Amino acid sequence: MRKLYHYPISPFSRKVRVMLAEKELPCEVIIENFWERRREFLAMNPAAQVPVLKEADGSIYADSTAICEYLDERYGDDPQYSLIGRSVGERAETRRIAAWFNNKFYYEVTKYILDEKVYKHYRRQGEPDSGAIRAAKSNILYHLDYIAHLTREHKWLAGERYSIADITAASHISVLDYFSDVPWNHSPAVKEWYALAKSRPGFRLVLEERIPGFRPPSYYDNPDF
Using CB under 8 A as the criterion, which residues of the chain lie in contact with its own copies when the complex forms?
Answer: 46-47, 59, 61-63, 65-67, 69-70, 73-74, 88-89, 91-92, 95-96, 99-100, 103-104, 107, 146
* CB-CB contact of 76 with 19 (8 Å): no
* Shortest distance (Å) from residue 27 CB to its own copies: 16
Q: Closest CB to its own copies among 189 and 205?
A: 189
Q: Closest CB to its own copies among 57 and 224?
A: 57
Q: Closest CB to its own copies among 70 and 220?
A: 70
Rounded to 5 degrees, what are φ and ψ at 193?
-60, -45
Q: What is the DSSP letter of 76?
A: -
* Shortest distance (Å) from residue 71 CB to its own copies: 10
Cα four-point dihedral sign 180, 184, 185, 186 = positive
* Shortest distance (Å) from residue 65 CB to its own copies: 6
Q: Closest CB to its own copies among 63 and 216?
A: 63
Q: Closest CB to its own copies among 74 and 155?
A: 74
* Shortest distance (Å) from residue 158 CB to its own copies: 11
* Shortest distance (Å) from residue 1 CB to its own copies: 19
- Among candidate residues 52, 7, 29, the one with its CA nearest the CA of residue 178: 7
Angle between helices 188-198 and 164-178 (to 10 degrees): 100
Question: For residue 6, what is the enclosing H or E element?
Answer: strand 3-6
* Shortest distance (Å) from residue 104 CB to its own copies: 6
CA distance 182 to 77: 37
Q: Closest CB to its own copies among 109 and 207?
A: 109
* CA angle centred on 204, ends 200 and 208, rounded to 5°: 160
CA distance 110 to 115: 8
Cis ω before 46 (30° cut-off from 0): no
- Among candidate residues 98, 172, 95, the one with its CA nearest the CA of residue 140: 172
